[in-house]
Chains A and B, each alone.
Chain A
Amino acid sequence: MDYVVAFIVGGALCAIAQLVMDIGKFSQMHVMGLFVATGVFLGISGIYDRLIAVAGAGAVLPISGFGYFLAKGVLAQNEVNGWLAIGSGMFQFAGAILSFAVVLSFFTALLCKPKG
């Protein structure tokens, strides 16, 4: 059952992104930035937590999930050392994903040649 919910929520987020791209004539990058910023906002205000509790990976895998991880890190560190912890804390969860993508891309460029 949670697969169905993940499918619907994740698909709906992607469909919204596509509609914003088509109707507003935005480029892919603009929508990407918009979605990440929205994810941060919803993450800090606590709405995205509820969405993830319902949809699981269906809310994590869309690009707004990256913003959610940033926001979650900020919230988790905020009580510990004041405002300095905002900068160090935001990568607590998002850093795992970000650094993995960077290292993986670097080694892909090492191993593969561009096609086409």
Chain B
Amino acid sequence: MSLKANYLQAVKAFQPKPPYVFNSLKAFVVGGALCAVAELFANSYIRFFSMPLLSAQQLAVMTMMFLAVVLTGVGKYDDFSQFAGAGATMTLTGFANALASAALEHRSEGWTAGVASQMFKAGGVAIVYGVVAAYLLGILYYITS
């Protein structure tokens, strides 16, 4: 058995075990806090602009995304998501950050070849899997209903 064949097993003993509980606790607190802030926005849109619930939730998500993109623009969101892990990346704010940071990173290659074509480098996963899953399940729903 060569080293290459069972490299993953051989190297496993030397890899530090990720602190499962601590990492997920950080993700829980940060993600939960983001969601509570979004809920605050949604409730205040309902109260002050008397919006329907769905529009208020959409607008609250957009507000959070706007804040995330502003933080990305000044270069602070990376530190934040480094700390929070999935709490900051597995939310729609993280999706906005993925798009904005890819766009910023490729800014020097020009508007078309850089910003526009590379923008979905990281965030495109969400769109592709979402659209494919929605199409397939939608057809299934259409056939069965």
A residues in contact (CB < 8 Å) with B: 2-4, 6-19, 21-23, 28-37, 39-41, 44, 52, 55-58, 60-63, 65-67, 69-71, 73-75, 78, 82-83, 86-87, 89-90, 93-94, 96-98, 100-102, 104-106, 108-109, 111-116
- Chain B contact surface mostly: helix
- Asked if B145 is at the interface of the complex by the 8 Å CB criterion, the answer is yes
- Chain A contact surface mostly: helix
With a cutoff of 8 Å between Cβ atoms, the chain B residues found around residue A19 in the complex are 20, 24
B residues in contact (CB < 8 Å) with A: 18, 20, 23-36, 38-43, 54, 57-58, 60-62, 64-66, 69-70, 72-75, 78, 85-87, 89-96, 99-100, 102-105, 107-108, 115-116, 119, 122-123, 125-135, 137-139, 141-142, 145
Measured CA separation A8–B57 after assembly (Å): 17
Whether the Cβ atoms of B95 and A66 lie closer than 8 Å is yes
Whether the Cβ atoms of A56 and B57 lie closer than 8 Å is yes
With a cutoff of 8 Å between Cβ atoms, the chain B residues found around residue A100 in the complex are 62, 65
Whether the Cβ atoms of A18 and B119 lie closer than 8 Å is no
Shortest distance from the beta carbon of A112 to any chain B beta carbon, whole Å: 4
Measured CA separation A33–B124 after assembly (Å): 9
Whether the Cβ atoms of A97 and B138 lie closer than 8 Å is no
Known: A37-B130, A116-B78. A10 touches B31 (CB 8 A): yes
